[in-house]
Amino acid sequence: MIVNATRMLKLAHDGHYAVGHFNINNLEWTKAVLQTAQELKSPVILGVSAGAAKYMGGFKVVAAMVRAMDESMGITVPVALHLDHGTYDAVKECIAAGFSSVMFDGSSLPIEENLAKTAELVALAHDKGLSIEAEVGAIGGTEDGVTADGEVADPEECKKIVALGVDFLAAGIGNIHGIYPENWTGLHIDALEKIQAATSGIPLVLHGGTGIPDEQVKAAIAKGMSKINVNTECQLVFAAATIKYCAEGKADPSAANKEKGFDPRKILKPGVEAIKAKVKEKMELFGSVGKAA
């Protein structure tokens, strides 16, 4: 059931668990996440970056695919189709394309411009029933080619942007997209406490969910992180499973391969199973299993 993410994240925040945001890259990926969410009776957020949408043929294609899949698979758990790190124009495009949730990432803009654009997009999104995530300050790592260091958001800026009516907020607490460097010092839970205190209990979003030690994830959830974004970890297990399958010679195109292991449906299967296992592991860690409501 495609819904916006407001209610599922409010319930998560109140119930001290988090909803997983899993980035999707193709049809197989989407199906794997939806199947796992349904099996585990967990709410879920499908994250779509501009790069992934372009790869799949555009935001309209993604929205049509996800909505059709949700219906034909008989998905009854709450599913939000969410634009990840959207520009001002991409947010408008996704509202028109049929997304149920958007993120406007104005974190690289001067704060006044970020606030003005966020205010405008909050009104547009809410008018059409979508939820909207905003961000202040940079979250580190690489997202579609943009790199930054693990930064910590300013509670005062967080307070200002939340006052505009955003539904949930990406707040940097030393988290980084992609693989964490050896010398990473961990999440700043003290900073998270200050941000949550300044933002009157709004659900917060932890980007860069790959590779954060489980105890730190749990501590962050306990202090108000209600949406956790995971991308790289799914990509890594998908790649590893596919490489293993091919390295075992199963995709051999010769006539001797009677099993026809080169059929793309067979080549992608181990990767799909690996994504399902990873999504399950994360939903269990985040505490969202059985929380579909």
Copy the structure tokens of residue 56: 């799949």
Residues 124-153 that bind ligand 13P (CB under 6 A): none
Minimum CB distance to ligand 13P, residue 214 (Å): 14
Q: Does 186 bind ligand 13P (CB under 6 A)?
A: no
Given the residues 84, 105, 154, 167, select the one marked as catalytic.
84
- Contact region for ligand 13P (CB under 6 A) — 70-78, 89-97, 230-238, 262-270? 230-238
Query: Treating both helix axes as pointing N-terminal to C-terminal, what angle do 27-39 and 264-286 enclose, rounded to 10 degrees?
Result: 40
- Contact region for ligand 13P (CB under 6 A) — 149-157, 187-195, 208-216, 278-286? 208-216
Q: Does 84 bind ligand 13P (CB under 6 A)?
A: yes
Q: Which residues of 31-45 are buried (b: 16+ CB within 10 A; e: fewer)?
A: bbbbbbbbebebbbb
Q: Does 242 bind ligand 13P (CB under 6 A)?
A: no
Q: Does 23 bind ligand 13P (CB under 6 A)?
A: yes
Answer whether 41's CB lies under 8 Å from 17's CB: no
CA–CA gap between residue 27 and residue 30 (Å, rounded):
5
Q: In 3D, which of 9, 76, 72, 83 has the Cα closest to residue 41?
A: 76
Tell me whether residue 23 or residue 226 sits nearer to ligand 13P (CB atom).
23
Tell me whether residue 179 or residue 197 sits nearer to ligand 13P (CB atom).
179
CA–CA gap between residue 166 and residue 174 (Å, rounded):
22
Annotated catalytic residue 127: no
Torsion of CA 267, 272, 273, 279, to 10 degrees: 160
Binding site for ligand 13P (CB under 6 A): 23, 47, 84-85, 177-178, 207-210, 229-233
What positions carry a catalytic annotation? 84
